[in-house]
Amino acid sequence: MAKIIEPPPKTERQAPPTRQVKRSVRRLESKSKVDGSAEYIHNLTLPGMLYGKIARSSIPHGKILSIDPGAALALEGVYAVITGDDIRRLIPDPYYGPAFHDQPILALDKVRYAGEPVAVALAKDPHVAEEAADLIAVEYEPLEAVFDEVQAAKPGAPIIHDVLKPATTFPDLKHLQGRSGTNVALSAHVRRGDLAQAFKESDYVFEQTFRNGKVIHAPLEPYVTVGEMAGPDGLTIHTASQSPSFVRSEISRLLGWPENRVRVRTAFLGGGFGGKLYIKLEALVAACTLLVRKPVRIALTMEEQFYTITKHGATVRLKTGVRKDGRIVAREVEVWWNGGAYADIGPRVTQKSGLTSSGPYDIENISIESHAVYTNEPPAGALRGFGISQVVWAYESQADVIARALNIDPIDFRRRNILREGRPHATGMPMTDIDIDAILDRLAERMEWNRPFDRGSATIRRGRGIAIGIKSCVAPTTSVAMVNIYGDGSCGICSSTVDMGQGSDTAMAQIAAEILGISTESIRVVHPDTDVTPYDMATLGSRSTYHMGNAVRRAAEDARAQLLRMAATVLKTGEGDLECRDGVIAAHCGARVTFRDLMVARFAMQAGNIIGIGSFIPPYEKPDHETGQSRQITPFWMLGGAGAEIEVDTETGRIHVVKLVNVGDAGSPINPDIVERQLIGAGTMQFGFTVFEEMIFNEGQVVNASFADYKIPGMLDVPDQLSGEMVEVPHRQGPFGAKGVGETGMFCVSPAIGNALYDAVEVRITEMPLTPERVLRALRRAQNRPLGSD
């Protein structure tokens, strides 16, 4: 079957050739990725380097009775074995984390999930290190474990952390409280209106529970960090990280060092998807490097990814009151997030995705409870969408249930309820720079919603479904950028945004190029290096285009202002008479001067720098702790929609997606092609999560921890027709009107397919993924001839 993975025809997309933004500039790094010259930390080795291999816990919960490195140390070629106690000698309080300082660099006293790092063997030969790691003998006293997020939140569940120590690093997580005697790390609330009364006045009440299994990021480049001493009292960490600035501050905190003694650098990432955020291997590598005072490299295998970080499993209970006319008047949401053994950024997922879990709907009466729960499974963190796809799965599946019960067309039902410009979101913030109607229009058009639909026949039934979703962007966060004009007039951008395949280098260069009137392709983007590039919160949550994009814009404006001042002197005219265009500064009278000539005029030769600085931190108001209300909860809203047309094999339960349309509001796109590719890429990723990707656990052990047994979609699996569609709603504060869009394509794919499934065969599945067996079992139950053991 031929696949059509193409954006729609590009008619109105031709911007005037002098413009750098709104132009589908080719990725700056394309050639280097094709010819293999692109830099990845994965390829880095250093002279005298030791390889570290991790010995991992074999049980999900237990006390460590003893660790015997004897046999490992006896192996020829083993340099050292490092345990949690060794690390404690270097770092007295070796716990890290962006929300809670709960994760030990190596397990101390206790293990909390099967696969947790317990010790590291170091050797010059990675195979020797691996064999040594296998020889480290650890004795445990097993403790009762808990895996289900709802069970774990109940009183009486085995307690995973005796005390919780909030990190207080990030302003949006400042309110976290130290707790003990519970597995609930945090509960976030939103309250609005009078819920009880509204339910009483509702004509219908719908209540359902939806579940999501766990999946992983599966970047092609697994987690990798290399550490080396930088002089006697400094440390350099080369790491495939999405958050170099955070790594620096967290490592400095752990060591009790000033930040300027820790240098963190990254290169291109072979994918990240939220996995490579905060601390993954960096603290362990830093500690090992300092203990042995030699370069140390730890690179995980594909298999070890499954023991590092996952997406959150979640249980979402949703109760919705609706009037006869199809208006939603009340919604009560309770979400339990399976955060695994360590909080990582789970509390932020809990809070941010919790607060939008009532959906993109204008509802007067709302109550949301969102709980971050510890369990004895590998830690869960950010995964492209930050928890949004889990809640959209719930509220958009239910939207379909309601629309059908009321016999209202699904698109029409949404139109009756969506938030529009100026209306208050559940958190109270008035909506700005959004247009959900435009998303629904585009879905209706591309899905040919009003045309007769072939419903299939015999054992192949056809159906279609849609969904819409909303996300807020993390706030408040800071980005700082530097635009550097060198002596010859060429330009470099220093930013700590990490290009992990999403095209940020190109987008940043486009923004600076637009302001400076030079070509995007002529700009060099310097990759994150905390000794060189300024602070950035992290490359996450679709924030870079908006935040770093604004910082780069300001930095370029700053550089331009300096250039114009210099040019005004040289050309003896007013600054107002000058503009940067076509690589020169031109006066209205026709006089021109190149950047290089300006540098020569100022520095008497081809020398010197013009440095423009820009920093950006959007306004934010902390939500009220009890009600979640805030006048400014997010710098911008992300809106998306998806439509799916599917075929269901009623004898096997297999879903074949014929067509998947993924619509995203990108504001005014900086680079339309990249935006469409992001929507298509995210759509494909969430498609895999929807139809078959799932980590399978047995008593806390991951039983399919390899890509032989955990399958991600390939070319033969993706929908026959797959498209990414932009809706352009310029954002007033976005750089040239742009919004972030890296996650938008993830939001809606699952319920669009789930709703299409119902449309095709009238079974509603509430738990993801929609595997053939799950579908067939549901079908057979509905036909009253259940499969065995059902």
Partner 1 sequence: MKSFDLAEPATIEEAVALLDPEDKSVRAIAGGTALMLMMKTRLFQPTRLVSLRRLNGDLRGLRVNQDGGLRIGAMTSLAQLEYSHLVASTYPVLSRALGTLSNIRIRNVATLGGHLAHGDPHMDLPPILMTLGAKVSAVSPRGRRWVDICDLFTGYYETSLIKDELITSVEIAGQPPGVYCWYEKFTARSADDWPTVGVAVRYIVDSGVIRDPRVAVSAATERPMRSAAAEAALTNAPLAPHVLSKAADAAADELEPIADLHGTASYKREMVRVHVRRALEKAAQWRR
Q: Which is nearer to partner 1, 524 or 654 (CB)?
A: 654
The 726-765 contact track toward partner 1, x by CB under 8 A, reads ----------------------------------------
By CB under 8 A, which span of 61-69, 385-393, 603-611, 766-774 interacts with partner 1? 766-774
- Site size toward partner 1, by CB under 8 A: 32
Among positions 68, 148, 259, 303, the unique one binding partner 1 when judged by CB under 8 A? 303
Among positions 86, 116, 130, 499, the unique one binding partner 1 when judged by CB under 8 A? 130
Cα 37 to chain centroid, rounded: 27
Provide, rounded to whole angstroms, the least separation between the CB of residue 771 and partner 1: 6
Hey, what are 205's tokens? 């009440």
Q: Tell me, what DSSP letter sits at residue 642?
A: E
Q: Which is nearer to partner 1, 6 or 651 (CB)?
A: 651
Residue 772 lies near partner 1 (rule: CB under 8 A): yes
Residue 714 lies near partner 1 (rule: CB under 8 A): yes
Contact 95, 161 (CB under 8 A): no
CA neighbor of 417 nearest in space, from 397, 432, 437: 437
Q: Which is nearer to partner 1, 410 or 769 (CB)?
A: 769
Q: Show the DSSP H helices in 612-735 as ranges.
A: 672-691
Q: Read out DSSP for 497-509?
A: ---SSS-HHHHHH
Q: Which is nearer to partner 1, 181 or 788 (CB)?
A: 788
By CB under 8 A, which span of 115-123, 273-281, 525-533, 705-713 interacts with partner 1? 705-713
Contact 436, 639 (CB under 8 A): yes
Provide, rounded to whole angstroms, the least separation between the CB of residue 657 and partner 1: 13
Amino acid at the residue 633: I
Question: What is the SS3 assignment for 130?
Answer: helix
Among positions 442, 461, 554, 777, the unique one binding partner 1 when judged by CB under 8 A? 777
d(CA 483, CA 612) in angstroms, rounded, equals 5
d(CA 629, CA 355) in angstroms, rounded, equals 9
Q: Which is nearer to partner 1, 127 or 631 (CB)?
A: 127
Name every residue whose Cβ is closer than 8 Å to that of residue 558 and which is 6 or more positions away in sequence. Answer: 483, 612, 613, 614
Q: Which of residues 622-681 bind partner 1 (CB under 8 A)?
A: 651-652, 654
Q: Which is nearer to partner 1, 197 or 652 (CB)?
A: 652
Provide, rounded to whole angstroms, the least separation between the CB of residue 790 and partner 1: 8
Among positions 16, 708, 732, 784, the unique one binding partner 1 when judged by CB under 8 A? 708
d(CA 367, CA 332) in angstroms, rounded, equals 5
Name every residue whose Cβ is closer than 8 Å to that of residue 130 and which is 6 or more positions away in sequence. Answer: 53, 121
Q: Which is nearer to partner 1, 665 or 694 (CB)?
A: 694
Contact 513, 519 (CB under 8 A): yes
Residue 787 lies near partner 1 (rule: CB under 8 A): yes
Among positions 63, 89, 127, 200, the unique one binding partner 1 when judged by CB under 8 A? 127
Cα 148 to chain centroid, rounded: 24
Q: Which is nearer to partner 1, 183 or 690 (CB)?
A: 690
CA neighbor of 610 nearest in space, from 490, 724, 757, 705: 490
Amino acid at the residue 6: E
Contact 524, 493 (CB under 8 A): yes
Q: Which is nearer to partner 1, 508 or 695 (CB)?
A: 695
CA neighbor of 724 nearest in space, from 690, 674, 671: 674
Provide, rounded to whole angstroms, the least separation between the CB of residue 303 and partner 1: 7
Q: Which is nearer to partner 1, 179 or 780 (CB)?
A: 780
Among positions 151, 249, 301, 490, the unique one binding partner 1 when judged by CB under 8 A? 301
Residue 205 lies near partner 1 (rule: CB under 8 A): no
Provide, rounded to whole angstroms, the least separation between the CB of residue 487 and partner 1: 48
Residue 561 lies near partner 1 (rule: CB under 8 A): no
Say how many C-beta atoms besides its own lie within 10 A of residue 185's C-beta: 26
Among positions 361, 580, 771, 778, the unique one binding partner 1 when judged by CB under 8 A? 771
Q: Which is nearer to partner 1, 41 or 128 (CB)?
A: 128
Among positions 148, 445, 717, 720, the unique one binding partner 1 when judged by CB under 8 A? 717
Provide, rounded to whole angstroms, the least separation between the CB of residue 729 and partner 1: 36
Q: Read out DSSP for 360-399?
A: SB--SEEEEEEEEE--SSS-B---TTTTHHHHHHHHHHHH
d(CA 416, CA 55) in angstroms, rounded, equals 56
The 682-701 contact track toward partner 1, x by CB under 8 A, reads ----------x---x-----
Residue 2 lies near partner 1 (rule: CB under 8 A): no
Provide, rounded to whole angstroms, the least separation between the CB of residue 1 and partner 1: 10
Contact 233, 261 (CB under 8 A): yes
Q: What Cα–Cα distance (Å) separates residue 479 from each residue in 142, 381, 613?
A: 45, 22, 11
Contact 500, 268 (CB under 8 A): yes
Among positions 713, 724, 751, 754, the unique one binding partner 1 when judged by CB under 8 A? 713
For residue 567, which phi and psi values (nearest 5 degrees)? -70, -35
Q: Which is nearer to partner 1, 196 or 703 (CB)?
A: 703
Strand order in the sheet with 479-485: 524-526, 491-494, 479-485, 610-616
By CB under 8 A, which span of 150-158, 306-314, 382-390, 708-716 interacts with partner 1? 708-716
Among positions 151, 704, 721, 733, the unique one binding partner 1 when judged by CB under 8 A? 704
Residue 706 lies near partner 1 (rule: CB under 8 A): yes
Hey, what are 160's tokens? 């995973």
Q: How far apart are the first and last CA of the chain?
A: 35
Q: Which is nearer to partner 1, 399 or 775 (CB)?
A: 775
Among positions 407, 716, 732, 784, the unique one binding partner 1 when judged by CB under 8 A? 716
Amino acid at the residue 148: D
Provide, rounded to whole angstroms, the least separation between the CB of residue 201 and partner 1: 45
Among positions 46, 95, 124, 134, the unique one binding partner 1 when judged by CB under 8 A? 134
Among positions 712, 720, 721, 730, the unique one binding partner 1 when judged by CB under 8 A? 712
Q: Show the DSSP H helices in 10-137 as ranges.
A: 30-35, 70-74, 84-90, 126-135
Amino acid at the residue 90: L
Q: Which is nearer to partner 1, 205 or 787 (CB)?
A: 787
Q: Which is nearer to partner 1, 45 or 459 (CB)?
A: 459
Do the strands 296-299 and 50-56 form a parallel or antiparallel pair, or are they unpaired? parallel
Provide, rounded to whole angstroms, the least separation between the CB of residue 212 and partner 1: 17
Q: Which is nearer to partner 1, 671 or 771 (CB)?
A: 771
Return the residue matching tokens 């629309």: 403
Hey, what are 6's tokens? 């193409």
Q: Which is nearer to partner 1, 154 or 711 (CB)?
A: 711
Hey, what are 712's tokens? 């991600």
CA neighbor of 736 nearest in space, from 16, 14, 17, 20: 20
Hey, what are 41's tokens? 């930390």
Torsion of CA 701, 773, 208, 182, to 10 degrees: 0
Among positions 39, 85, 709, 762, the unique one binding partner 1 when judged by CB under 8 A? 709
Among positions 10, 89, 711, 781, the unique one binding partner 1 when judged by CB under 8 A? 711
Binding site for partner 1 (CB under 8 A): 127-128, 130-131, 134, 301, 303, 651-652, 654, 692, 696, 703-704, 706, 708-709, 711-714, 716-717, 771-773, 776-777, 787-790
